[in-house]
Amino acid sequence: MTAASASPLRLGIAGLGTVGIGVVKIIQRHADLLAARSGRPVVITAVSARDRTKNRDADLSNYAWEVDPVTLATRDDVDVFVELMGGHEGAARAATEAALAAGKDVVTANKALLAHHGHALAEMAETAGRVIRFEAAVAGGIPVIKALTEGLAGNQIRRVMGVMNGTCNYILTRMETAGLPYDTVFEEARQLGYLEADPNLDVGGIDAGHKLAILAAIAFGTKVSFDDVVLEGIGRISIDDIRRAGDMGYKIKLLGVAQMTGRGLEQRMTPCLVPDSSPLGQLQGGTNMVVLEGDSVGQIVLRGAGAGEGPTASAVMGDVLDLARGLRLPTFGQPAATLSTPVAAVASAPAAYYLRLQLMDKPGALAKVATVLGDAGVSISRMRQYGHADTSAPVLIVTHKTTRDAIDVAIARFPATNVVEGEPVAIRIEEV
């Protein structure tokens, strides 16, 4: 049987925003190529979006239109429900559950849906004999889900790490290269359309935290536990921090790290310092990068576009073609019943820290700071003092490996010394 004579794989697409239209364009532009690669035609039978009258720069006249995505998801002429609406409740969740209940496979780019309801949806899919594919939900066009579930399936994963929000990386690198403060670059990113409608999803680390929770579940065989991800955004990072970190050989990134430790599953999406010579340190603009470490393969680095019409639609189509080829895997790489409930690590692994203090020009000021750090169990590796501004001056300290608890104890004691102005800044230095 040739691809042309094989039964087509019929898609119903809910959500015709940037990604949805990108998928439509790929199918229209590469119909013959998709059929040749998958062994059967891939066609769109129906679509759904909130506004039918909107000009979407694509010909949708040959597709049935459904106002209700739940109705779309249950149509008899739909084999695969492609959910590109977004949001972890409401229409996206209802339509996805309806599709599975109706015996449809699901392809989605919705990281929030999976971060909040991934395990329940995985159980529902397996009960129905269906699969959920979601390459586009994490890191855009980078095939990191496929890498973990297929290419690295023979490895025990030691650590997952990466820059997974292009907007935050754009803001931080733009601050560095242009010497602009955070507020200015934030507004610039908003004007360019880089920020979500709720900007805190980006700059607060929530969007990237969703992605990290999904990767951690696959990497360590656990149920998705987004509520256990430690989140800290980039709003407190100043141009001074970026410059001072650069002076000491580091770049600041919103970095996600997940690893299984003796204390439990550690998941954090926080600003970190990384060596400026490392692949993560050299990452510029809106690009994403994910670093995977396995016991057999060692460290591999995946880099590429983390968002946008083409890259994300490319990831959606990779999942669609796998289904067309008959490739069927459990949602998180192993049966949902075998996924363990993770114990959240109560503290992160020890690391060096960058401390920035505004130190008053008083006799013995440095000695008092060193004493407080020592009493908290924090030892100093390097220290640099900059020129005085009136009655105080910035002091940078790089510690030896210590715990965040010890750093917090020291910071809480600094006011009693009467030599530290303002609130100190502490940023973890991640080994990469």
Q: Name the residues annotated as catalytic.
A: 211
Contacts of 114 (CB under 8 A, 6+ apart): 108, 121, 132, 134, 137, 210, 214, 224
Side-by-side strand order, sheet with 64-65: 64-65, 42-48, 9-14, 80-83, 105-108, 132-133
Residue 355's H or E segment, with its range, is strand 352-360
Rounded Cα gap, residues 264 and 25, in angstroms: 44
Rounded Cα gap, residues 86 and 402, in angstroms: 40
DSSP code for 1: -
Number of helices and strands in the chain (H, E): 14, 16
Bridge partner list, 108: 83
Contacts of 329 (CB under 8 A, 6+ apart): 131, 149, 150
Rounded Cα gap, residues 116 and 125, in angstroms: 16
Among 267, 411, 427, CA closest to 347: 267
Among 175, 165, 194, 398, CA closest to 269: 165
Bridge partner list, 302: 290
3-state secondary structure of 216: helix
Rounded Cα gap, residues 388 and 390, in angstroms: 6
Side chain identity, residue 2: T
Q: Where are the beta strands (DSSP E) in 74-139?
A: 80-83, 105-108, 132-133
Reading the block at residue 181, the tokens are: 């403060």
Work out whether strand 42-48 and strand 64-65 pair parallel, antiparallel, or are unpaired. Answer: parallel
